[in-house]
Amino acid sequence: MGPAPNGHVMGTVPHGEKEVPVIDLSQSEVAAAAQVRAACLGTGFFYVANHGVDEALVENVFQENKDFFTLPEPEKRRILADENNRGYTPMSEETLDAPHQTEGDTKEGLYFGREVLPDSEEAHMPLHGPNQWPAQDALPHYRHVTETYFRAVTALGMRLLRLLALALDLPPEHFHPMFTRPMLFLRPLHYAPRRSHPEQGIFGAGAHSDYGMLTLLKTDEHPGLQIWSGGKFVDVPPRPGTFIVNLGDMLERWTNGRFKSTLHRVVVDGSADRYSIPFFFEPNFDTVVECLPSCCGPDNPARYPPTTSGQHLLDKYAETHAGYSADATPGAAPITLEG
């Protein structure tokens, strides 16, 4: 087969390239923002290359997590996830798409948030609090490596916020005041080497859309992620050196449905363990989420009532996690809308 006009050798274009473009962050911001806009109007999934996060750090954080998930079960359960969404979630505990699953997701995970000390004035807010770290004698470098990675992906998230704002015809710093006390969750995941059987309702992760604003996902070399596009699930293969970025329900709501939060799932072939690390990047708890000026007008009225970033997330958790209810957290401040 000869080379195709676009430079690819025909027949070797990976699945999903049309649906999930690669955006090079080393080009000008204006050029990158135009590509981000096109991707957000499409599936809301794109890869970013030349993103500035050190590959050696990425390798370290994956290695630390492999070591964590190899620990004996009772050791992992010492830091079971608490009411602030911080800690260990055991294998099969979560079921992301209950109506289509016959058992829980074949994965286990950890949640870390932005560190909020118990005596901080933020500690009364739902989803805010101290992290639970693996024991230092078991994994002496875990916390340092994770916190370093957490800072690196936060910086990348802040860069992406500028591009998103430009893509919405807003000033590049439009979202920055809403990220002074952001809700950030890093979620290292381990998928068991157990073959998914969609027809039997067995999945690595059941189909879902992400709840928040932006997700920055790193995966290992094992495929599994699929997105719903054109009436079918399409593979989003691993691309070394990139992050997969996708939009969540909060941004879809904020943009009045213009930017898309797409359904996705994880289907694994069972030949190996699979590791991935999503990072969920959400605005301050009290940020008002109401139709952005560039997304509604007389011909296009707002489709959703205003909410807040925190309330939106609590409502979403209450839909899918039996243990959550939107107002059940002890000491929760009343959630009010400004203006």
Ligand X SMILES: O=C(O)CCC(=O)C(=O)O
Residue count at the site for Fe ion (CB under 5 A)? 1
- Selection from Fe ion, ligand X, none that 276 binds (CB < 5 to 8 A by kind) is ligand X
Return the residues of window 266-305 that contact ligand X according to CB under 6 A: 266, 276, 278
Return the residues of window 80-119 that contact Fe ion according to CB under 5 A: none
Closer of 182 and 188 to ligand X (Cβ): 188
Instruction: Using alpha carbons, select from 178, 143, 117 the residue that is nearest to residue 312.
Output: 178
- Selection from Fe ion, ligand X, none that 146 binds (CB < 5 to 8 A by kind) is none
Closer of 233 and 292 to ligand X (Cβ): 233
Return the residues of window 116-155 that contact ligand X according to CB under 6 A: none
Return the residues of window 178-207 that contact ligand X according to CB under 6 A: 187, 189, 205
Residue nearest to ligand X (CB): 276
Closer of 131 and 219 to ligand X (Cβ): 219
Question: Which listed range, 77-85, 178-186, 218-226, 331-339, lies at the site for ligand X (CB under 6 A)?
Answer: 218-226
Question: Which listed range, 74-82, 130-138, 216-224, 296-304, lies at the site for ligand X (CB under 6 A)?
Answer: 216-224
Closer of 142 and 185 to Fe ion (Cβ): 185
Closer of 227 and 291 to ligand X (Cβ): 227
Minimum CB distance to ligand X, residue 276 (Å): 3
Minimum CB distance to ligand X, residue 57 (Å): 19
Minimum CB distance to Fe ion, residue 138 (Å): 29
Closer of 139 and 217 to ligand X (Cβ): 217
Residues forming a β-bridge with 45? 246
Return the residues of window 201-240 that contact Fe ion according to CB under 5 A: 210
Minimum CB distance to ligand X, residue 248 (Å): 9
3-state secondary structure the chain: CCECCCCCECCCCCCCCCCCCEEECCCCHHHHHHHHHHHHHCCCEEEEECCCCCHHHHHHHHHHHHHHHHCCHHHHHCCECCCCCCEEECCCCCCCCHHHCCCCCCEEEEEEECCCCCCCCCCCCCCCCCCCCCCCCCCCCHHHHHHHHHHHHHHHHHHHHHHHHHHCCCCCCCCHHHHCCCEEEECCEEECCCCCEHHHCECCEEEECCCCCEEEEEECCCCCEEEEECCEEEECCCCCCCEEEEECHHHHHHCCCCCCCCCEEECCCCCCCEEEEEEEEECCCCCEECCCHHHCECCECCCCCCEEHHHHHHHHHHHHCCCCCCCCCCCCCCCCCCC
Minimum CB distance to Fe ion, residue 79 (Å): 23
Residue count at the site for ligand X (CB under 6 A)? 12
- Selection from ligand X, Fe ion, none that 225 binds (CB < 5 to 8 A by kind) is ligand X
From CA 222, how far away is CA 311, in angstroms rounded? 35
From CA 213, how far away is CA 236, in angstroms rounded? 20
Beta strands at 189-191 and 107-113: parallel, antiparallel or unpaired = antiparallel
Instruction: Using alpha carbons, select from 195, 224, 226, 193 the residue that is nearest to residue 208.
Output: 226
Closer of 75 and 97 to ligand X (Cβ): 97
- Selection from Fe ion, ligand X, none that 104 binds (CB < 5 to 8 A by kind) is none
Instruction: Using alpha carbons, select from 162, 155, 144, 174 the residue that is nearest to residue 243.
Output: 155
Closer of 33 and 243 to ligand X (Cβ): 243
Binding site for Fe ion (CB under 5 A): 210
Binding interface with ligand X (CB under 6 A): 187, 189, 205, 210, 217, 219, 224-225, 264, 266, 276, 278
